[in-house]
Chain A
């Protein structure tokens, strides 16, 4: 049967739900809001699954299409469900569903709960639009909408100035990316005459456009991808985006939105196969990002910031894979990453819940003994992130390393392996500081016996106040943890290839047996990194004591290699100076001066001219005569 109608429904149902929940957010009860919001995402997920079953169940997978509008070549928008878009849509709606369910418990206390769920639904709509579009214009629309959703959700606690600034920062940096993206799309239209993927990629296959132009387009699209995926050098917004609630960080800034750049490059792979210069740029940006993210993550003290830089690093791996032509590997890594990263974030949410919103890992410790569930889930996801077999991360990351190895890109290979080692390092550090060791005791100044005794009692009081984690938060985390473990070897090999293969008809994909050299190397490096980290950060490790010391001043890693400071001085301050100049100086003095000056001018002129009417007959007569003289002169000399 024809399920093509489901395609628009997947996109539209969350949008309608967002509108409805948004409108009724204050009249409906929180339960109703929860059911409606989660129900719409569940419906989208169900429809995606149905489409997936139909697509991959058929002998010859045929993309399912649905047209949205067909107003000439400019506005010919449509949706398509082929291997790539369904692969992503499953993750988006699936992970989205789990996180929505998690949010019903996590955000329940918040009084703007309805607003939150509405905005999350809007995000699901936007991301679905992005991945399901069959043309660049529709994708750009989705791109812009996810940017909007990100802004709304980062700045969800809009009364906090830090949240406002973070939201603006994210949006502005994404605008930079969108400039590149739209320029690239404009070039596409100029060169190919159409936005549709089929038209564009078909023309590329026929070699209608020069390689130089394709390289240019590739770079421009890459700018957009870099901004959206928070890769170097447009990455500085991602750590600040953690100002949003934890479910937002999980869904948008880990699993889905930041991977939109990866989707873009994967989708435009015919272009990047020909534009090798642009592809190599993608790979290098990814490789450097992987190493950068891993290094900086090792110096952060905010649990969400560690995970944010970890995301940066892992997306770097995906870019690396895409740039080297290993699109399947990159997309598989996206798949597994979504699970373990979302799992890590949601568990972090549980952890933060224990500490009443305090995200500083120096104030944690010993959580293994208090919340075994969170510790186990976090540990499983972390092992997947590190990339140890048999966890999922191993399979996907290993494929990317293999691609680098096979293409002979030794520099990139070395960087990627080093980053793998660092990944293990920061993960062990994080786990150790949060879950192991002694619980953090706030330092109290010695102020006398009575107060000291009261301070000693406080941690116990805190322990009693901890409420148990709600079931709605536990189940999604558990599911994600399980997926982190199994999705690797479940989908590896035949399933994965046959799933993604139709999306990449031009590539010759063959099932690679595991290259034991590369695999062994990556595992070894990870183990080495982990052991070093364990040595430094174990409960009685040297480094741990140093970093937990309140007097400790963080260094270059903590300051993110001072990139953010650089941007501040290079861009923000001049911009602010210009704005102040225009607003405080130019506008009142010059613009208002002109406007007021006109008034003054009129008044002065009137004052001067008024003296002409002096009541003297002779002066009036003189005026008349002058007029006569002028008229006569005109007639005498010009006519």
Chain B
């Protein structure tokens, strides 16, 4: 288990770093997917099987495909690489500085936070399974479930309004 965790963690981090450093947009997408896979493994290590699968399907399968489509749309004619990639302009330096500060502070919180020394509670075998998850979702948390469905619908309608062709 240790090894899995470490590998998964490294994958996640590598993915993010890859997004920062990659030049081509498609490379960025691949890095992102890499990161998602790592995270899914981490969810598995936490006994959340259903969520791991959902992560892979929704994120890796749907969202990233969307990204790929948009990349395809936008770079039909031109070089899709953006300006000044990899160059250290002042905004870039500022970004690194602020982000670095955040990293340090959150790292401190993470590594030395008191909550961390609390142990894991024991959970039943069925903890992350689909059945249990679905049961909870549709009984205790049915209201957020419905609202989420509404949100998705709004998103779809929104996209259609935004980008749908308006022929007179």
Contact = CB atoms under 8 A, between A and B. Distances in A.
Interface of A (DSSP majority class)? helix
Contacts of A618: 91, 95
Nearest to A624: B98
A619 B105 contact: no
B91 A622 contact: yes
Contacts of B95: 618, 622
B71 interface: no
B74 interface: no
B101 A629 contact: yes
Nearest to B108: A636
A632 B100 CA distance: 13
Contacts of A563: none
Contacts of B106: 632
A633 B91 contact: no
B17 interface: no
Interface string A612-639: 0000001100100110110011011000
Contacts of B109: 632, 635-636
A635 B113 CA distance: 12
Contacts of A635: 109
Contacts of A628: 102
A395 B70 CA distance: 125
A61 B106 CA distance: 101
B134 interface: no
A618 B108 CA distance: 26
A622 B102 contact: no
A619 B98 CA distance: 12
A83 B91 CA distance: 98
Contacts of A625: 98-99, 102
A629 B91 contact: no
B94 to A, nearest CB: 6
Nearest to A633: B105
Nearest to A630: B101
A619 B91 contact: yes
Interface string B88-112: 0001001100110110011011000
B75 to A, nearest CB: 20
A622 B98 CA distance: 8
A111 to B, nearest CB: 83
Nearest to A616: B91
A632 B98 contact: no
B108 A629 contact: no
A471 B20 CA distance: 116
Given A618-B91, A622-B94, A636 B105 contact: yes
A632 B99 contact: no
Interface string B18-61: 00000000000000000000000000000000000000000000
Nearest to B91: A618
A636 B94 CA distance: 22
Contacts of B105: 629, 632-633, 636
A632 B99 CA distance: 12
A626 B99 CA distance: 9
Interface string B124-165: 000000000000000000000000000000000000000000
Contacts of A636: 105, 108-109
Contacts of A622: 91, 94-95, 98
A625 B95 CA distance: 9
B91 A632 contact: no
B78 to A, nearest CB: 21
A555 B105 CA distance: 92
A618 B101 CA distance: 17
A635 B108 CA distance: 11
Contacts of B94: 622
B113 to A, nearest CB: 10
Nearest to B99: A625
A135 B95 CA distance: 83
B98 A626 contact: yes
A618 B105 CA distance: 22
- Most chain A Cβ neighbours within 10 Å, of B99, B105, B109: B105
A619 B108 CA distance: 26
Nearest to A626: B98
Nearest to B92: A618
Contacts of B91: 618-619, 622
Contacts of A633: 101, 105
Contacts of A629: 98, 101-102, 105
A338 B102 CA distance: 96
Contacts of B102: 625, 628-629, 632
Given A618-B95, A622-B94, A622-B98, 14 more contacts: A622-B91, A626-B98, A629-B98, A629-B101, A629-B102, A629-B105, A632-B106, A632-B109, A633-B101, A633-B105, A635-B109, A636-B105, A636-B108, A636-B109
7 contacts: A618-B91, A626-B98, A628-B102, A629-B101, A629-B105, A633-B105, A636-B109
Instruction: Name the 3 nearest CB pairs between A and B, nearest first.
Output: A625-B98, A632-B105, A636-B105
